[in-house]
Amino acid sequence: MITITFPDGREQEYAAGTTALEVAQSISEGLARNVLAAKVNGEVRDAQRPLTEDAELALLTWRDPEGQGTFWHSSAHLLAEALEALYPGVKLGIGPPIENGFYYDIDFGDHEISAHDFPKIEEKMKELAREKNEYERREVSKAEARSYYEEKGDPYKLELIDELEDGTITFYEQGQFTDLCRGPHIPHTGKIKAVKLMKLAGAYWRGDESRKQLTRIYGITFPKQKELKIYLERLEEAKKRDHRKLGAELDLFMFSEKVGAGLPIWLPKGNAIRERLMAFLRREQERRGYEMVTTPHIGHKLLYETSGHYEKYGSDSFQPIQTPREGEEFLLKPMNCPHHCEIYGHRPHSYRELPMKIAEFGTVYRYEQSGELHGLARVRGFTQDDAHIFCTTEQLKEEFLDVLDLTTLVLNKMGFADFTAQISLRDPDKPEKYIGSDENWDAAERAIIEATAEVKMKTTTVKGEAAFYGPKLDFMIRDAIGREWQLGTIQVDYNLPERFDLEYIGADNEAHRPVMIHRAPFGSMERFLSIFIEHTGGNFPLWLTPDQFGILTISDRFNDYAHEVQQELATADIRGFVDGRSEKVGRKIRDAEVAKTPVMLIIGEQEVEENTVSVRLRDRGDMGSMSVPDFIEAFQGWVAEEDATGQVKNEE
């Protein structure tokens, strides 16, 4: 007998060789029908594989990210099976699951394929799915694997096999299809009910531009047709909210080929939003004892060799800048933290000075591949709301809790109250990915876990997602249309202070090593705004929007009065514009609505005679006529009462 421990701590004995699927059946047939895979001692495996020893077991369904990943991995195999049936002789690359769905890289040879072929491929996938063929795992020797693919004539699989150790190779088979794969997979194809192929793209084999370009087919599948319908509707809504589209329509930012791909240029309206966000955070930081600093956009190569960034990220950075001095090399700044370590280390410190909190809206540069660039979300130059806290070990928990409070405040202010915190730990099986001692890592991980537990924060724990120098707490938010994003991070770091030999003199008059906390509530201004634009659909909160009002005149005869009103509102710190064009007021209203102007003040002859404005709100329509002082009072009330999504609350 073996003992199985469930996530709730409950233990149950089963016969050795029992599968996770049989365990599910022993609990309920309904659960068994929904099980897609199993997590055994932290490893995701086929639910059909026998359990041969005591284990911790979690049964994975569609509700679990690992369950969805397994489902989409199996769907990639189903796509490959359909393609081999429809296009004999195609050569297969790789077909992994991705965040939403899956893809498969295919060498179609002489076959031609386009998106017009998607319907017949989808039908073939559904036909094969209805056969309910089991995904069967089979261990093979390296020789057997090579023999199979040599006979099949598949050079891409042969290349992958050459890199595998004998005794670690597995095939997965469903129906008449076989693929080189480590798994895991769902029990059978019949669980795949809804299929949609999304797009075609070119992809160099193994990401190497010197290799052959394959055809990448992206798709997504679901266990129910209605879930696909909801997903496609959400996708359409996402297209309407695309920050690249809205950024152009609202004149927020631009890109220029002459400036360079991935290097955003902020236009006046977008920059106004950016500056107000930074001013908001700057005020909060000053209230909590942070001091602002400014560091150069470049640094000596030695700086990043000391920090370890060059070793870890050198290949992904812009290449070193050579100076006229022989052997002297500089790098565009990839991170702010090495500079901040130098600020701390430039003079001695006493324990009485700690914590030392320094903050910077620092622009950094990383070379993203051109195919990975995406509006503001993935760029080569971006500004981080970076801060670093240098403190004693005794102060660590209190300071971490204060950073948690600040980050929560920022997320709530911006309308992201629906969030979870992901505790990202090191991968215990890959110690080469990290720098620093096990003792320091243990202390840092413990600090994060204890602090989040103290404030009863909703968290998940993921191994292998830590930064190379320390564990971190990533904030996962859900936007207005249900998509999940990572926003903001807090990291505890014992390693950089050691690499930079940072010290303070303690109460015992001895030198001690400070602890370093990295934090960035927004993450980067560019990526945050890409998410925030889509979250709000461009309908920004009143406090943040570039133009809080637009004064629309019925005739240019009323423009002088309109400008007087604009000046009076400016003295009350309410910003906006006058539309005095010789256009009909209906056209002006439509243009203001397209520009997402939250408040429209319409001025005609009656308003001029009565010294009033006719008020129209973006989300509530006509509010009637008001004197300018009454409007100012009402507006200030709306700003105070608006919720964090930028919608003015309805009043009864």
SS3 string, 31-82, reads HHHHCCEEEECCEEECCCCECCCCEEEEEECCCCHHHHHHHHHHHHHHHHHH
Cβ atoms < 10 Å from Cβ of 652: 2
Q: Which helix (H) or strand (E) holds 477?
A: strand 472-478
Which residues share a beta bridge with 2?
A: 14
Q: Which domain-ending residue is among 480, 512, 536?
A: 536
Number of domains in the chain: 4
| Position 544 in a domain | no
* Domain co-membership, 504 together with 557: no
- Flag whether pLDDT at 651 surpasses 60: no
Q: What is the model's pLDDT at position 649?
A: 42
* Domain co-membership, 160 together with 174: yes
Q: What is the model's pLDDT at position 468?
A: 80
Mean pLDDT computed over every residue of the chain? 93
* Domain co-membership, 574 together with 483: no
In the 3-class helix/strand/coil scheme, how is 189-224 assigned residue by residue?
HHHCCEEEEEEEEEEEHHHCCCCCEEEEEEEEEECC
At CA 352, angle to CA 347 and CA 355, rounded to 5?
Answer: 80
Q: Span 116-124, mean pLDDT?
A: 97
* Domain co-membership, 390 together with 470: yes
Q: Which domain-ending residue is among 497, 515, 536?
A: 536
At CA 291, angle to CA 289 and CA 292, rounded to 5?
Answer: 145
Distance of CA 420 to the CA centre of its chain: 13
**Nearest residue to 67 via CA among 94, 41, 46:** 46
* Domain co-membership, 198 together with 257: no
Contacts of 510 (CB under 8 A, 6+ apart): none
Q: Measured between alpha carbons, how far is 459 from 190 in angstroms, rounded to an integer?
A: 34
Q: What is the model's pLDDT at position 336?
A: 95
The pLDDT confidence band at residue 650, using thresholds 50, 70 and 90, is very low
Which residues share a beta bridge with 361?
A: 385
We report the CATH number of the domain holding residue 563 as 3.40.50.800
| Position 555 in a domain | yes
Give the lowest-confidence range in 303-317, 535-549, 592-606: 303-317
**Nearest residue to 616 via CA among 607, 628, 625, 605:** 625
Q: Span 166-195, mean pLDDT?
A: 96
| Position 96 in a domain | yes
Distance of CA 333 to the CA centre of its chain: 22
Cβ atoms < 10 Å from Cβ of 111: 15
Q: Measured between alpha carbons, how far is 68 from 100 in angstroms, rounded to an integer?
A: 9
Q: What is the model's pLDDT at position 434?
A: 85
* Domain co-membership, 301 together with 447: yes
Q: Measured between alpha carbons, how far is 121 from 80 in angstroms, rounded to an integer?
A: 10
We report the CATH number of the domain holding residue 496 as 3.30.930.10
Q: How distant, in Å, are the alpha carbons of 148, 561, 578, 609, 613 from that of 606? A: 86, 12, 18, 5, 9
Is there a contact between 589 and 552 (Cβ–Cβ < 8 Å)?
A: yes
Q: Measured between alpha carbons, how far is 411 from 419 in angstroms, rounded to an integer?
A: 8
**Nearest residue to 137 via CA among 168, 105, 94, 96:** 168
What is the dihedral sign for C-alpha 263, 265, 270, 274? positive
Tokens of 403: 């950073």
| Position 649 in a domain | no
We report the CATH number of the domain holding residue 12 as 3.10.20.30
Q: Which domain-ending residue is among 238, 267, 297?
A: 238
Q: Measured between alpha carbons, how far is 253 from 243 in angstroms, rounded to an integer?
A: 10
The residue length of the chain stands at 652
| Position 300 in a domain | yes
* Domain co-membership, 6 together with 111: no
| Position 357 in a domain | yes
* Span 2-61, pLDDT tens digits: 999 999 899 999 999 999 999 999 999 999 999 999 999 989 999 999 999 999 999 999
Contacts of 320 (CB under 8 A, 6+ apart): 301, 329, 330, 331
* Domain co-membership, 71 together with 33: no
| Position 11 in a domain | yes
Higher-confidence position of 549 and 442: 549
Tokens of 628: 């300018």
Q: Span 470-476, mean pLDDT?
A: 89
Active-site positions read 337, 366, 384, 386, 388, 472, 518
* Domain co-membership, 483 together with 605: no
Q: Span 602-618, mean pLDDT?
A: 95
pTM of the shown model:
0.80
* Domain co-membership, 192 together with 98: yes
Q: What is the model's pLDDT at position 652?
A: 33
Q: Span 122-133, mean pLDDT?
A: 97
Tokens of 511: 């030198």
Q: Span 592-602, mean pLDDT?
A: 95
We report the CATH number of the domain holding residue 104 as 3.30.980.10
The pLDDT confidence band at residue 285, using thresholds 50, 70 and 90, is very high
* Domain co-membership, 523 together with 599: no
Tokens of 426: 């090191």
| Domain carrying residue 267 | 253-536
Is there a contact between 296 and 331 (Cβ–Cβ < 8 Å)?
A: no
Higher-confidence position of 116 and 313: 116
Q: What is the model's pLDDT at position 494?
A: 87
Cβ atoms < 10 Å from Cβ of 370: 9
Q: Measured between alpha carbons, how far is 390 from 494 in angstroms, rounded to an integer?
A: 10
Give the lowest-confidence range in 97-111, 518-532, 631-645: 631-645
| Position 578 in a domain | yes
In a 10 Å sphere around its CB, with 0-12 CB exposed, 13-18 middle and 19+ buried, how is residue 63 labelled?
Answer: exposed
Kindly report each contact of residues 38-42 with a partner whose C-beta sits within 8 Å and lies 24 or more positions away, as own/partner.
Answer: 39/66, 42/463
Q: Measured between alpha carbons, how far is 589 from 202 in angstroms, rounded to an integer?
A: 44
DSSP state of 443: H
* Domain co-membership, 470 together with 564: no
Q: What is the model's pLDDT at position 483?
A: 85
Is there a contact between 531 and 376 (Cβ–Cβ < 8 Å)?
A: no
* Span 337-395, pLDDT tens digits: 999 999 999 999 999 999 999 999 999 999 888 888 999 999 999 999 999 999 998 99
